[in-house]
Amino acid sequence: MIEPAGADACELLAALHARAFDKPWSAAEIAKLLDNPAVFALIARTAEPAGFVMAWTAGGDGEILTVAVLPEARRKGFGAALVDAAGAAALLRGAASMHLEVAETNAAARALYAKLGYQEAGRRHAYYAGEGGGVDAIVMRRPLPRPAI
């Protein structure tokens, strides 16, 4: 099940982010993002939370800010479900397309996004700090499907 997560879930979202990433966002950072009315978060759960996505919409475009899936919940469809749900939520908020950034070295995430229809649209050189130097960010974009009328 995927459901909205509000400002009251900042501690939970930060704990999930900490388990998913080496450089996690704090509850305060997440709360600051969620203070912006354009930002939204969705959480995936079965009996327990498995992960979340944060995104925002502005000017007809949506952007995925982070997708965090717990290590033990990976490769079970949660990431795809969260990315798709964020796209649907962005579409409802008026976005015609969705974009994201992913580390060039994150082959699993890049494969997932490509499977979901995202295509490389650009590159940000040395965007992420990495061991031995910066890691490029791959900017990926996809149009959001318009409902048939």
Burial (0-12, 13-18, 19+ Cβ within 10 Å), 97: middle
Alpha helices by DSSP H, listed for the chain, are 10-20, 27-34, 78-92, 107-115
3-state secondary structure of 28: helix
Chain CA centroid to CA 58, Å: 16
To the query of whether residue 118 is one of the catalytic residues in this protein, the response is no
Q: What is the phi/psi pair of residue 142, to 5°?
A: -150, 145
To the query of whether residue 101 is one of the catalytic residues in this protein, the response is yes
CA-to-CA dists, residue 46 to 68, 78, 114, 146, angstroms: 15, 10, 26, 29
> Given 113, 118, 120, 128, which residue is catalytic?
113
> Given 29, 48, 72, 101, which residue is catalytic?
101
Catalytic positions, please?
101, 113
